C-alpha cells in the first residue's frame, strides 16, 4: 500500500489553478523529490497534504485512509510532519521550547513534560543544534533556523516528512550537512517528500522525482530519467543551470 497518495488533486486561487489534477503515490521508505519552477504549485501541494489548504477537488490518502479536509492538527498527529519554506519558528521562545512544542503538540499532549524535554534534546543533537538550546530561536542563524524547523517537525514523530526547500539560502558546506541530515532521517525509517532547487541534493538523495509546472505534473521518474528528459531540461533544468 502507498503511504501517501493523491488523486487528481486540484486547488484554485481565484481563476488560477495552482495545483491541477495532480495524482501521485509515495511508497513507505521512499525519498521523493518535488521540483519545478517558482510558482509551479509545489508549496501549495504541501499545504494541501498537510491541510493548511483544502483542495477544490481530488482526494488525498494517508496509509489508505482518506484524509482530505481533515484538520491540520489531526493530520500531524496521524503522522505527516512538515517544514515551511518561509521558516515559521516561534522567534521569542527558546530553541528547546520550539522543539518541545512539536513533541507535545504532535502527540496530542499524551507525552509528559520531562519526556518532551528529553526528546527535544535528542532531536537538537540529531540535527546538529546541541549547544544553543536556551537561546531565543529568532537569534539563530538562517541555516540553524532551518535545522530547528526540521527538529520541530521530527518531534511530532512523523511517518511522512514534507521538507520545503530546507537547503535554500544555505552555503555549500551547509548544503552538505543538510544532505547528510536528510539521509539520516531516511535511515531512521521516515518517508520523505522534499521540495528543493538544489539539484545536487535532489539527484543524489531522491529515489524518484516528480516535476510540477503551472500546477500540473509534467514528468516523473528516477533522477537519471529526469536529468535526461527533454521536457524537464527545457522547462526547468536549463533554467536552474543558467541560474547556477
Ligand atoms: N494563499 C495563496 N493565495 C493566492 N495565490 C497563491 C497562494 N499561495 C500560492 N499562490 C499562487 O499559486 C501559485 C503556486 O504557488 P506555490 O505553490 O507557492 O509555488 P512553488 O512552491 O512551486 O513556488 C503561484 O502562482 C502563487 O502565486
Ligand atoms: Mg514553494
C-alpha 42 – ligand 1 centre gap (Å): 8
Residues paired with residue 16 on neighbouring β-strands, in sequence order: 13
Q: Are residues 64 and 93 in the same domain?
A: no
- State yes or no: pLDDT of 242 exceeds 90: no
Q: Are residues 71 and 189 in the same domain?
A: yes
Ligand 1, atom 25, residue with closest C-alpha: 39
What are the backbone dihedrals phi and psi of residue 15, each rounded to the nearest 5 degrees, phi first?
Answer: -90, -5
Question: Tell me, what's the pLDDT at 117?
Answer: 93
* b/e per residue 169-182 (b: at least 16 CB within 10 A): ebeeebbebbbebb
Q: Are residues 20 and 56 in the same domain?
A: yes
Residue 219 lies in a domain: yes
CATH number where 194 lies = 3.40.50.300
- For the chain, the residue count is 244
What total of structural domains would you count in the chain?
2
C-alpha 117 – ligand 2 centre gap (Å): 32
Q: Are residues 139 and 242 in the same domain?
A: no
Question: Per-residue pLDDT averaged across 114-140, rounded?
Answer: 91
Q: Are residues 207 and 236 in the same domain?
A: yes
Q: What is the pLDDT of residues 197-220, one digit of tens each?
A: 999 999 999 999 999 999 999 999
CA distances from 110 to 103, 107, 157 (A): 10, 6, 13
Rounded to two decimals, what is the model's pTM? 0.94
pLDDT band at 241 (very low <50, low <70, confident <90, very high): low
Ligand 1, atom 17, residue with closest C-alpha: 41
Please work out whether the CB of residue 44 comes within 6 Å of at least one atom of ligand 1. Answer: yes
Residue 74 lies in a domain: yes
- CA angle, corner 27, sides to 207 and 128, nearest 5? 60
Q: Are residues 73 and 90 in the same domain?
A: no
3-class secondary-structure state, position 12: strand
Q: Are residues 75 and 3 in the same domain?
A: yes
Question: Per-residue pLDDT averaged across 121-143, rounded?
Answer: 91
Question: Per-residue pLDDT averaged across 154-173, rounded?
Answer: 95
Q: Are residues 142 and 94 in the same domain?
A: yes
Residue 178 lies in a domain: no
Q: What is the pLDDT of residues 6-62, one digit of tens each?
A: 999 999 999 999 999 999 999 999 999 999 999 999 999 999 999 999 999 999 999
Residue 176 lies in a domain: no
Q: Report the mean per-residue pLDDT for the chain.
A: 93
Residue 230 lies in a domain: yes
Please work out whether the CB of residue 39 comes within 6 Å of at least one atom of ligand 1. Answer: yes
- State yes or no: pLDDT of 244 exceeds 50: no
Query: Containing domain of residue 104, as a range?
Result: 80-157
Amino acid at each position: 500500500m502507498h503511504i501517501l497518495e493523491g488523486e487528481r488533486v486540484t486547488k484554485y486561487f481565484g481563476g488560477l489553478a495552482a495545483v491541477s489534477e495532480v495524482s501521485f503515490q509515495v511508497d513507505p521508505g521512499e525519498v521523493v523529490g518535488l521540483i519545478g519552477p517558482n510558482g509551479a504549485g509545489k508549496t501549495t501541494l504541501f499545504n494541501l497534504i498537510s491541510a493548511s489548504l483544502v483542495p477544490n477537488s481530488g482526494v488525498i490518502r494517508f496509509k489508505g485512509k482518506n484524509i482530505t479536509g481533515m484538520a491540520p492538527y489531526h493530520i500531524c498527529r496521524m503522522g505527516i510532519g512538515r517544514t515551511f519554506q518561509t521558516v515559521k519558528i516561534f522567534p521569542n521562545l527558546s530553541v528547546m521550547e520550539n522543539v518541545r512544542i512539536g513533541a507535545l503538540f504532535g502527540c496530542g499532549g499524551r507525552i509528559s513534560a520531562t519526556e518532551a524535554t528529553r526528546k527535544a534534546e535528542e532531536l537538537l543533537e540529531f540535527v546538529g543544534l546541541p549547544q544553543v538550546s536556551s537561546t531565543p530561536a529568532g537569534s539563530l542563524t538562517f541555516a540553524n533556523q532551518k535545522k530547528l524547523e526540521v527538529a520541530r517537525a521530527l518531534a511530532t514523530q512523523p511517518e511522512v516528512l514534507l521538507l520545503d526547500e530546507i537547503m535554500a539560502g544555505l552555503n555549500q558546506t551547509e548544503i552538505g550537512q543538510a544532505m547528510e541530515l536528510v539521509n539520516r532521517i531516511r535511515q531512521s525509517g521516515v518517508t520523505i517528500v522534499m521540495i528543493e532547487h538544489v539539484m545536487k541534493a535532489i539527484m543524489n538523495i531522491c529515489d524518484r522525482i516528480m516535476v510540477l509546472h503551472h500546477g500540473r505534473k509534467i514528468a516523473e521518474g528516477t533522477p537519471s530519467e529526469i536529468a535526461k528528459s527533454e521536457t524537464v531540461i527545457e522547462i526547468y533544468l536549463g533554467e536552474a543551470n543558467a541560474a547556477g
